[in-house]
Structure 1
């Protein structure tokens, strides 16, 4: 039995299903991925394009990578959630944003790319305080 994954954007207007398992789950620290996510990295699961069905209104943004390929980022036209990316170097594949999956249990980062570009602030120190949920904290004026 093939594992099936599903996901959606923040507003729920875009949904998808993917027949798995993914080819690879990767964390990327390149400048483009950092700017796309607004964080220090992105995490994505690569699938064969034919194994993925996407429904909803999408928008695209394309740019040239430092390897000379064209990269296209596809996102919800309403809320802007990144849904997937595609690259002309791997034309029959797309990479779903792992954070949009309904249930990614069993999936783990297998490779990290552009580790050299990982910002210092994306490396958590042991003494960083962690909360299970949003804390009851209010900033002082």
Structure 2
């Protein structure tokens, strides 16, 4: 039996199931992905379009990439969670946002793309303090 990956947006309006192993799991640092995520990168798992079953109301935004392919990003129409991206250079495939998966166990980043665009602040130094949960912290002042 093939593995199934279930996912949803923040509000639960959009849900999906992806069947089978992904083609690739990638972290991307391009400017568009940084702006999409509001962070330094995105992480996505690419599946054949035939292996992804979506439900719910999506909104889309398309743009022309530097290499002249059309990229389309799909979001939940209600909460704005990024659900998938697709690119005309890779037809019949969708890249699902890994952060929307209920359980991404076993899906490890295999490649990093647009490493040249990685921001200096998108890497943790050895002096960064880490908390297991939300800390009871208030800024001074």
Q: What TM-score, normalized to structure 1?
A: 0.99
Give the match for residue 120 of structure 2: 120
CA distance in 1, matches of 2:69, 2:134: 40
Give the 5 Å matches for 1:37-76.
37-76=37-76
Separation in 1 of the partners of 2:56 and 2:44?
20
1:98 aligns to what? 98
Q: Partner of 1:107 in structure 2? A: 107
Aligned residue for 2:36, secondary structure, equals: helix
Q: Please give the secondary structure, in 2, of the residue aligned with 1:94.
A: strand
Unaligned stretches of 5+ residues in structure 1: none
Distance in 2, Cα, partners of 1:10 & 1:139: 28
What is the TM-score of this pair, normalised by structure 2?
Answer: 0.99
Q: Deviations over 1:82-110 (max 9, x none)?
A: 00000001111000000000000111000
- What RMSD in Å do the two structures reach over aligned CA positions? 0.5
Give the deviation of 1:139 after TM superposition: 1.4
How far off is 1:123 after superposition? 1.2
Unaligned runs of 5+ in 2: none
Instruction: Determine the C-alpha separation between the residues in 2 that align with 1:100 and 1:22.
Output: 15
Aligned structure 1 segments of 4 or more residues deviating by more than 4 angstroms: none
Partner of 1:15: 15
| 3-state SS of paired residue (2:121) | helix
User: Alpha-carbon deviations, 1:28-87, whole Å to 9, x = none?
Assistant: 000000000000000000000000000000000000011110000000000000000000
Instruction: Provide the residue aligned with 2:137 in structure 1.
Output: 137
